[in-house]
A = this chain, B = another copy of it.
Amino acid sequence: MSERVVVKNLAALSDGPVTVSGWVETVRDQKKVQFVVLRDESGAVQLVNPAVREVDPEVEGSAERLATTEAISALAHGSFITVTGELKHDERVKLGGIEVKVATLEVVTAANPETPIAADSSLDKRLDWRFLDLRQPKQALIFRIQTTFEHALRQYWIDNDFIEIHTPKLMASASESRAELFEVDYFEGKAYLAQSPQFFKQMAQSAGFGKVFEVGPAFRADPSFTSRHATEFTSVDAEISWIESHEDVMQLHEELLVAGFTAVKDKHGEQISELFGIELEVPSRPFPRIPLAEAKRIVAERGYEIPRADDDMDPEGERQIAAYVKETFGHDFVFLTDYASSIRPFYHMRNAEDGSLTNSYDLIYNGVEISTGAQREHRVDVLVEQAKEKGLEPEELEFYLDFFRYGVPAHGGFGMGLARVLMLMLHETSIREVTYLFRGPTRLAP
C-alpha cells in the first residue's frame, strides 16, 4: 500500500512531504490560490495550491503547475483524489491548524458533478443515495459508535465465557407469530425467514452451552411504516442457563449496556458532543425496575389513559413512564417487569404465584422499548399447555419441544434491537438514520 497518511494522523507529523487520499468536500478556486478540503474516513484537511494560470517558460515546472491548477479548478465535489505535498503546521488554518501544499494531484475517480442530495433533502431521498449520505461526518460517526458498542458487548461476553452462535435464518416454521412471516421458495418446498433466534438460542441451553450470544439479522413481514420498525433489523441476543428468574437476565442486560455505553463514551464522547450536541451518559446500575401494573397506575396518575383493550402499554405510556423515571430516579432506562401472560409469547415462564403474570420484562430507554427479556418455560408439559392456550399447534412445534424432552436447565435471555439503541442514544428520530441500509415494506434498494 502507498505511504498514505490518514488525516487524523497528520497533526502529529512534522512539517514535510506527505501523501493523503480522500474525497473532495469543497473547492475554493481563487485567482491566486486554490483551497480544497479533502476528507477521508478519519477527518478533513485543507489542501492549498498557489494557482498558476499560464505557462511561464522561464519557470521550471510551470507547465505541470498549470496542469495541477486546472485539475483543481475542474474538481467535482465528491471526486476521490490522492495528493502528495508538503505538510505545514500553521495556527492560522482553522481546520486543525495544518495544511498540505499540493505538489501532485491524482484524480482516482471523478464524481458526477450533479449532486443528487443536499443538506435539506428528505430522509427518503437521502436513503436513495445512502452512499453519499453516509459521507457526512455525523452519519459516519453513527457506524463507528455502532462498531465500538458491539465490540464492547462482545468483549463482555468473551470475558464472561459466552459462546457465540450463528443461528440459521432459514427455518421450516415460524419462530414468533405466523402473521409477520416472510416465505421463501426453497427448492421444491417453502422456508421461512427467522423472526428471531429464539428457538435456536434456547436449543443451545439444551445443548449445555451455558451462555450464548448472537448479533445477527432478524426479519419481520411487518407492513408498518413507523420510525421504529423495519422488515430486517440487527438483533442483539443473549441467553443464559441456570437462572433463578428474569432478574438474572436483567442483571446481565444492564451490565452489558453499561459496558457498551462506557466504551462509546470513552472513545466517541467528544465527537458525539460536537456532532450531535449530546453529553452521553453512562447509566448507573441497577436500572430502575417497575412491575407493569404499577407502571400503568403511575401513568394513569399522571393523567394519561392508555387506549388499549389488552394489558399492554402503548408508545405514549412508555414515554410517560420514562418521564416519571427520569424525574424520580434521574435514570434514562427502566425495566418494566411482570407483563401479563395474555400479551406474552407462549415460551415465557409464568409467575409461580400468579399465573396471569410472566417472569418477563421490557426495557425502555428514553421512552421507547428497545428489548424484551424473560425467563423461559423449560417444563415441556407446561410449555405444551401454554402453546395450545395461545392457539398454536404443538405438532408444528415438535422440533422445538424436543429440546425440552431430553433435559434442559432453567434459562432465560433477551433480544434487543441494535438500531433502536443507537437511535435513542443519539436522539435520532428514526431507526432509518442509524441503519446502514434500511429495509421497509417499500424499500429494498440500494
**CB contact under 8 A between A169 and B172, given known A163-B147, A209-B140:** no
**CB contact under 8 A between A444 and B403, given known A2-B244, A154-B151, A379-B109:** no
Contacting residues, chain B, for A22 (C-beta < 8 A): 208
**CB contact under 8 A between A185 and B187, given known A41-B208, A109-B408, A144-B163:** no
Chain A 137-164 interface 0/1 with B at a Cβ cutoff of 8 Å (1 = within): 0001001101110110010001001111
Is A165 at the interface (CB under 8 A from chain B)?
yes
Which A residues between 399 and 420 are near B, CB-CB below 8 angstroms? 399-400, 402-410, 418
Which A residues between 216 and 273 are near B, CB-CB below 8 angstroms? 216-217, 219, 221, 223, 231-232, 234, 241-244, 248, 251
Q: Distance in Å from the Cβ of A437 to the closest Cβ of chain B? A: 5
Are A232 and B168 within 8 A (Cβ)?
Answer: yes
In the docked arrangement, what's the CA distance between A150 and B166, Å? 11
**CB contact under 8 A between A112 and B406, given known A154-B151, A183-B184, A207-B131:** yes
Are B79 and A407 within 8 A (Cβ)?
Answer: yes
In the docked arrangement, what's the CA distance between A1 and B147, Å? 31
Q: Pick the most buried of A116, A144, A217, A379: most chain B CB atoms within 10 A of its CB.
A: A217
Are B131 and A206 within 8 A (Cβ)?
Answer: yes
Residue of B nearest to A444 (CB): B172
Question: Of B140, B231, B242, which contacts A207 at CB under 8 A?
Answer: B140
In the docked arrangement, what's the CA distance between A144 and B404, Å? 23
Is A191 at the interface (CB under 8 A from chain B)?
yes
Are A406 and B147 within 8 A (Cβ)?
Answer: no
Q: Distance in Å from the Cβ of A377 to the closest Cβ of chain B? A: 11
Which A residues between 194 and 228 are near B, CB-CB below 8 angstroms? 199-200, 203-204, 206-211, 216-217, 219, 221, 223
In the docked arrangement, what's the CA distance between A356 and B135, Å? 35
Are B182 and A183 within 8 A (Cβ)?
Answer: no
Are B112 and A207 within 8 A (Cβ)?
Answer: no
Question: Of B146, B183, B221, which contacts A164 at CB under 8 A?
Answer: B146
Are B170 and A131 within 8 A (Cβ)?
Answer: no
Residue of B nearest to A158 (CB): B151
Is A292 at the interface (CB under 8 A from chain B)?
no
Of all A-B residue pairs in the complex, the 3 with the closest CB atoms, nearest first, are: A41-B210, A134-B207, A111-B407
- For this complex, 13 residue pairs linking A to B, each with C-beta atoms less than 8 Å apart, are A108-B407, A108-B408, A111-B406, A130-B207, A143-B165, A147-B158, A168-B232, A169-B219, A184-B185, A187-B442, A200-B436, A399-B445, A403-B446
List residues of A whose CB falls within 8 A of some B CB. 1-2, 4, 6, 21-24, 39-42, 76, 78-80, 82, 108-112, 115-116, 129-132, 134-135, 140, 143-144, 146-148, 150-151, 154, 158, 161-173, 182-187, 191, 193, 199-200, 203-204, 206-211, 216-217, 219, 221, 223, 231-232, 234, 241-244, 248, 251, 378-380, 399-400, 402-410, 418, 436-437, 439, 441-442, 444-446
Given A1-B248, A135-B207, A187-B223, 4 other A-B residues pairs in contact with their CB atoms under 8 A: A111-B405, A131-B402, A170-B219, A183-B184
